[in-house]
Amino acid sequence: MDATTFRLVLVVIAVIVALAIYLYGQHQSRLRKRSAIETFTREEVDSAFIEDEQLRFELNNLNQVLHDNEDEEILDQIHINPAEESPQKPQSLPDPEIFVPTLMRDKEADRVVSYHLRHDDFRLITGEEASSAVEHAGLELDDDSYLEYREEGELAFRIASLSAPGDFAEIEQLDFITLGFNCFIDLDDCGNPGLAYEAMLKKIDELVRMLNVKVYLPSQELLTISDVTSMREKLS
């Protein structure tokens, strides 16, 4: 074998060896891919599928919750009757009318001393309350069914009801009610105004304690010590 033939044989052998190495490498690569695929088991595929389904379920729940909240907000904004559902301002009732008896209507204001005994909220006094207070204060019904108090046999003052008809004829009845007492002195029919005024103040104090009421002027202003002092000076 000459040198040229020998070199040609070596080249062929080298090509065959290189081709064998290349084919062997491709074969090993395919084996590794197949092995990798086989290691991804059915359980792992199912697990991935299950996790995907759970995620989808949770997302659907979240979407439903958000949708429900939006519906509730819309419903909350709907008013069936806005006029009735709007905040109502408390309505204050007007003060009840104070009844003035006929015998006092024709009198000049400076010829009558008058004080009203009533609750500050115009709460009514029952017949039982009034009757008990009248008895303890030693008051009597006169011929006109007004209450009266006498000091040393002389008429000191009278009391009319602040509710119509103004008298106490039915004070013993269970359904009797009154806004309060109108204690007054008719100066044209009083022999000793000063003594009568002091007697009236004393009985008013008793009635206030028993009925838990307050004392008002005819103008519906609270009676003050200054008012009492001024009246005492006037009547002295």
pLDDT (tens place) for every residue of the chain, 236 residues total: 677 776 777 777 877 877 777 777 777 777 776 665 555 455 544 454 445 566 666 667 766 766 666 555 554 555 544 545 556 655 656 778 899 888 888 888 889 999 999 999 999 999 999 999 999 999 999 999 999 999 888 999 999 999 999 999 999 998 999 999 999 999 998 989 999 999 999 999 999 999 999 999 999 999 999 999 999 999 98
Note every long-range contact of 200-205, with CB atoms under 8 Å and residues 24 or more positions apart, other chains counting. 200/113, 200/115, 200/149, 200/156, 200/157, 201/228, 203/137, 203/138, 203/139, 203/149, 203/157, 204/115, 204/117
Inter-CA distances, 26 with 14, 22, 43, 133, 218, Å: 18, 6, 30, 122, 121
pLDDT at residue 147, as a whole number: 96
Whole-number pLDDT of residue 45: 44
Tokens matching residue 138: 């030693």
pLDDT of residue 191: 87
CB 194 within 8 A of CB 235: yes
- How far apart (Å, rounded) are the C-alpha atoms in residues 68 and 75? 10
85 φ/ψ angles, rounded to the nearest 5 degrees: -85, -15
Neighbours of 142 (CB within 10 A): 15
Task: Pick 102-235's CATH classification: 1.10.1750.10, 3.40.1710.10, 3.40.190.80, 3.30.1400.10.
Answer: 3.30.1400.10
Rounded CA-CA distance 157/190 in Å is 8
pTM above 0.85, yes or no: no
3-class SS at 122? coil
Tell whether omega for the bond before 94 is within 30 degrees of 0, i.e. cis. Answer: no
- Sign of the torsion formed by the C-alpha atoms of 74, 79, 80 and 85: positive
H and E: helices and strands count for the chain: 7, 8
